[in-house]
Each structure stands twice: as structure tokens, then as C-alpha cells.
Amino acid sequence: MRQGNGSITHPSDLRFSAPKEYARALRAAHEATISGTPDPRLPASLIKSWQRSLALGINPDQHRPVHRHDVAEARSLSAGHRLAGVMPALSQLLADETVTGRHLLIVTDHEGEVLWRVGSRQALRLADSLEFVEGADWSESGVGTNAISEALVTGAPAQLFSAEHLVRTHHDWACTASPIRDPFTGEIVGVLDVSGPFESVTPDSLRLVRCGVRLAEELLKSAPTPDAGTRHRSQAADPGGRTARDCGTRSRLVLRLLGDSPSAAIDGGASRPLTVRRAEILALLASRGQGWSADELACEIHGDAGTGAAIRTEMHRIRSILGDVLEANPYRFSSTVDVVTDASVVAGHLRDGRVAEALAAYPAQLLTRSANLAVGFMRDELNVAMGASVRSSGDARLMLQWCMSDMGSADTATAAAAATLLGPGDPRWQLVGARMDRVDRELRA
């Protein structure tokens, strides 16, 4: 006998009446199927999900989820997400933060990245052991078959019990999930999940999750909607639904990559904040007109551990934020989009010999929060070019301005050139000398 969600059951429905016995039966079916002898009691849809996950490189024995962002960054992203406004109501309805609470309330974005976790300390610690944390990718490609991934793949509620999960470390858990949809467009905006030890699941778990989804979707009806321009800008501008490419017009993408708060704006619209990872990808795309293959970008962004699948996921997310600005095979900016970055503006001034303008347009180094090696090379290249151009200008005022900035504070060559021009009798030399002494002490420390 099978339940509506397609998982195997026994006549007495041991899932609820004897969960440990049911878990043992599922584990035996899992072992047989993974070993190459599919258990006939397992639904074909579940086996296909396992097969897709295995093909994506998911290891049933030791797989850990992909982390799209660190926890702090994911929490920062969640603050601006559409579902942030419904979280208090969902927490009140479904969360259990008492000392004895056993289950977690999880809400992900539309691609399965965990944005919120609410539960007791005990439940959170158990989730930590599985890296079931903010920023972790709980989609099929991120961690294999689970209730969240099934909800995303099927677009319907899903409940997975014990060894219905592909990864063995998840076999002590039961998870119930359902998509949350935009009440106006029907698009999935996130997934609501309730997870905990398999003994904690009840016949009401699926009903409660469905109630939570209905509550969230009702609240979204009265919540501010995202700027339509980021999703369907050209359709909004043209009632006929023609795109900018169809109309022969060009879009303008402005990327702010200098400093620690990268952002993007299309056609003068609202500025959209970017995560460091997406800003790194966009910076690399802007640096090379011929484009990048997914594998090349994966190596540049993630090193030897990078995969093309991870890059394709990020590209999909970039398109969801900025619209149709990218082409694939290779990845590059669309030929219908004019791309301007604040870093390219600075470089353009330097190429044309407008050193004062370049310095005025250079408030901070490129992506200061990025530790990526390729971005670091671009950052150093621009900074070194600025210092060399300032020295070549022969303008002591510009040299002083550069040396007193954060970007030029360690440029002892320019400081020495300024000192030579000013001479010891110029009071401004004292500022330069003090700066050089401080840098020298820091280097020797």
C-alpha cells in the first residue's frame, strides 16, 4: 500500500504506529536499491530522484550539503527576502523552541537554500551535525533526495521518512515540506519544511505544513511585491509582452563592485544588493569579453573543488535577480546589454590620462570582502595602476590625496615622490612622513 506522496507503507501504516520498525524496513530497501537491486516496494519516482542525485555526485555514505553562503551572509540575505515578513506568523504556528522541542521549522528560498531555522537548542544542535544550517543548499543537487528537494522538483507537498532520504546520515530524520507560491504569479518563492527525528513525525505533520503554506500565501497577498522590473521589466514597459531584444532596444547594467557592498541596477532601476559570490562571478564576466565556460568559472571561484553545476545554479540566481542579462556556452553578458562597472570607469579614466577623475571615482578597492584569488589579482592590478598613474602625474596634491586614502596608505613609493616634490619645509610633508612611519612600523610588527 502507498500513501499519496508515493512512499512505501505497510497495511498498518508503521510510519506512525511503529516508526522504528518502519525505518528498519526502509533501510533494508535503501541498501538493496543502492546496491543495484531496486526494492519493488519503493516508488519509481523516489528511485529516479536517487538516480538523479547519484548522477550529480551525491555520495550516500558521507555527503555534506553544498554551502552557497556562510551563515552570516545567508542571514543577511534573508532579511531582504519576500518571506521575511511571514516568518513571525510561521514561527508562531509551527516552531517549537521549548527545551523539549524536537522538530525544526525550516524555510528556504525558491532554489532550496536554507534562509531560516527555528527550533530548540537540542534540535538546532542535531541539525548542525548535518550542516542543516543557513546558507546550505538543500536542493537535489546540493544534498540529494529530501523533502525540500522533492517539493521543488514536483511542485507539491512531500514527506520523506528515514531511509527515503538518499544520504544515510539523514536516516534518523523525517521531513515534511511544501512549496510556498507567489499568490499572484504562482511562482515558487520558497519552501516550508518541518524536520526532526523520525519518531517525532505525526499524521498531522503534513496538514500543519499545508496550513503554514496557506497562511504564508495569504500574508504575501498584502505584502509589498518585488520590483516587477527585475523579473519582467520589458513586459511591464510594453503591454504586448515584447522583450527588449524583440524591440531592438538595449539595456544598461550598472555594477557597483568597489567597496564592501556590491550591487547591481538595470536601466536606472532600484539598486539590487549582491552577495560576494555573485559579485565575484559578475566581476569575472566583466573582465573578459570572450566569456567563460562553467568549468572555468568553477575553477576560478571554487578552486579544484568547484563544479559546473554550482556555477549554473548561481547563474540561475543571477538571472532571477537581474533578468535576461547573461548568455550561456560560454557564460558572458548578453549582446543586448551595455555593462558598466565602477571599476571600469576608474580604469577608463586612467587609460585616458584623467588621473584626478580616476582618483575621485575610486572610493575603495575592488570587492574588499572577497578572498577569491582571481578577484585579488584584479584588485591589486587596479590599485597598482592608480598608484603608478598618480606618481606619473607629477601633481603633489594628487599624491597627497592618494597617500592619505585607505587604498594608497601603503604606497611608500608615491609617498617618497610626494616628499621629494614638497621638500622638508612644506608642512604637508609632516603628514606624508607620519603616514610612512606608521606603515613602516606595521610592516615590521
Cell numbers placing 111: 532554489
Cell numbers placing 269: 532601476
Assess whether pLDDT exceeds 60 at residue 239: no
**Of 3.30.1020.10, 3.30.450.40, 3.40.1440.10, 1.20.1290.10, which CATH number belongs to 14-222?**
3.30.450.40
- In which band, very low, low, confident or very high, does the pLDDT at 305 lie, cut at 50, 70 and 90? confident
Q: Which of 333, 343, 358, 330 minimizes the C-alpha distance to 253?
A: 333
Assess whether pLDDT exceeds 70 at residue 435: no
- Give residue for cell 608642512: 427
* Same fold for the pair 14-222 and 251-381: no
Farthest CA pair distance, the chain:
97
- Give the whole-angstrom CA distance, residue 64 versus residue 34: 18
**Each residue of 64-91: pLDDT tens digit?**
888 888 898 888 888 889 999 999 999 9
- In which band, very low, low, confident or very high, does the pLDDT at 372 lie, cut at 50, 70 and 90? very high
- Over residues 147-164, the mean pLDDT reads 91
Q: In this structure, are residues 14 and 27 in contact, taking their beta carbons and an 8 Å threshold? A: no
Greater confidence, 203 or 19? 203
**Each residue of 260-282: pLDDT tens digit?**
999 999 888 888 999 999 999 99
Q: In this structure, are residues 421 and 430 in contact, taking their beta carbons and an 8 Å threshold? A: no
Give ∠ CA 33-39-42 in degrees, rounded to 5: 100
Cell numbers placing 375: 578577484
**Each residue of 109-119: pLDDT tens digit?**
999 999 999 99
- Give the whole-angstrom CA distance, residue 197 versus residue 161: 9
Q: How does the average pLDDT of the chain come out, rounded?
A: 83
* Residue ranges per structural domain of the chain: 14-222, 251-381, 394-445
- Over residues 304-320, the mean pLDDT reads 86
CATH class of 251-381: mainly alpha
